[in-house]
Structure formats: C-alpha cells, structure tokens
Amino acid sequence: MKGKVIILVAPSGAGKTTLAKRLFKDFDDLKFSVSATTRPPREGEENGIHYHFLSDEEFQARIDENDFLEWEEFYGGKRYGTLQSEVDKSLKLGYFVLLDIEVKGAVNINEIYGDECLSIFVQPPSLEVLKQRLIARGTENEETLALRLERAKEELTYADRFDRVIINDDLETAYSQIKQAVLEFMNSN
C-alpha cells in the first residue's frame, strides 16, 4: 500500500520524540507507527505503545515471516524494525503515519514510498550538544552513550539524503519549521 508516510529521522538524542509528541497534539489524523525492538523498555515505556518489545527469538520469527518493511541492527546487537502491519493499519483508515526511525531504515522507507513520503532529518546543533542532551535525558550508561555518539557521527553524514533538514537548536523554532513542512505535505496529498 502506498502513501502518506512522514519520517522523522535523526541520531538518537536529537529530539525526534520531543518533536513527534508536539506533532501528535497538533494533528489528529497523524498516527504513530509502533516499531518492534529487542532493546529492553525504559522506565515509563509501555509495550505496544512506545514499542513492541520482542525477544531475539520473537524478532527473528517476524523477520522469517517477512513482516518488516525494514529492520536494522545496531547499538551492540539490538534490533529495531518497522512492521508492515503497523503502517498499513493506519493508512487503510486514511491516516498519515509518522515513523521515528534511524537513517538507514529511513532511506529504505523513502525508497519504498517515494513521493508519497516526507522525510525530515532532525539535526542537532553539534555533537557536543547531542552528547549533553543524551546525558541530560538520563537514559544511557557510559557504554550506550558512547555507542550512540559513535553512530551519530556516521548518521549525520546522511542528512542530505532526506527531503528536509531541520536543525533542532531552539525547540520552538525547529518545531514551527517541522509543523510547516508537515502542513504543506498533508495539503499536497
């Protein structure tokens, strides 16, 4: 099924979740695609709402069933993937679907949906700011922080593969730019 997909893509800690929450408040016809992951839930995260938290075996079974539009493995063996059923469920009901995924997955989704997809790269003002945000979020230990920062360096080189690049320095400024881009995309469909 084609159409009406919006991707927020960025290195971990750049602000996708924060910006996505604002979009959901402003756009009733936007639905979140709940990804599957093998990483453990963080405090406050609920199964089926933030992610479908799967064991390695369960994730592998979904791969074998061809259930993923895309999936990637990173951060020392953790797997993350977009379920075709999640996206189709919302598209069938006529909603726009928002994906919060990393760069390689986003490139793949962009290829699948083509012009029917708006991809927005959320860029942190600098790697140092990204590090400070990840530390302030309080979700990483020394090892996972280092893994995320290492990966971020590579991810930042992908920015020009996406439709829009928005720098998330001042949150209000970044959000108003994203909102504008989303409005234009929705109205062009």
- Which positions touch ligand ADP (CB under 6 A)? 10, 12-18, 133, 136-137, 168, 171, 174
> 3 or 125, CB closer to ligand ADP?
125
Q: Interface residues for ligand 5GP in 34-73 (CB under 6 A)?
A: 35, 39, 70, 72
> 20 or 54, CB closer to ligand ADP?
20
Tokens of 87: 């996206």
Q: Please provide the size of the chain in residues.
A: 189
CA distances from 2 to 36, 66, 87 (A): 21, 18, 10
Let me know: does 72 contact 12? Beta carbons within 8 Å. Answer: no
Q: What amino acid is encoded at 97 in this protein?
A: V
Binding part of the chain for ligand 5GP, among 57-65, 78-86, 130-138, 165-173 by CB under 6 A, reads 78-86
**Interaction of residue 15 with ligand 5GP, rule CB under 6 A:** no
> 28 or 49, CB closer to ligand 5GP?
49
Number of Cβ within 10 Å of residue 35's Cβ equals 20
> 4 or 155, CB closer to ligand 5GP?
155
Residue of closest CB approach to ligand 5GP:
105
Tokens of 49: 């709402």
CA angle at 27 for the pair 86 and 113, rounded to the nearest 5°:
45
Element (H, E) at 156: helix 142-156
Give the binding site for ligand 5GP (CB under 6 A).
12, 16, 35, 39, 70, 72, 80-82, 100-102, 105
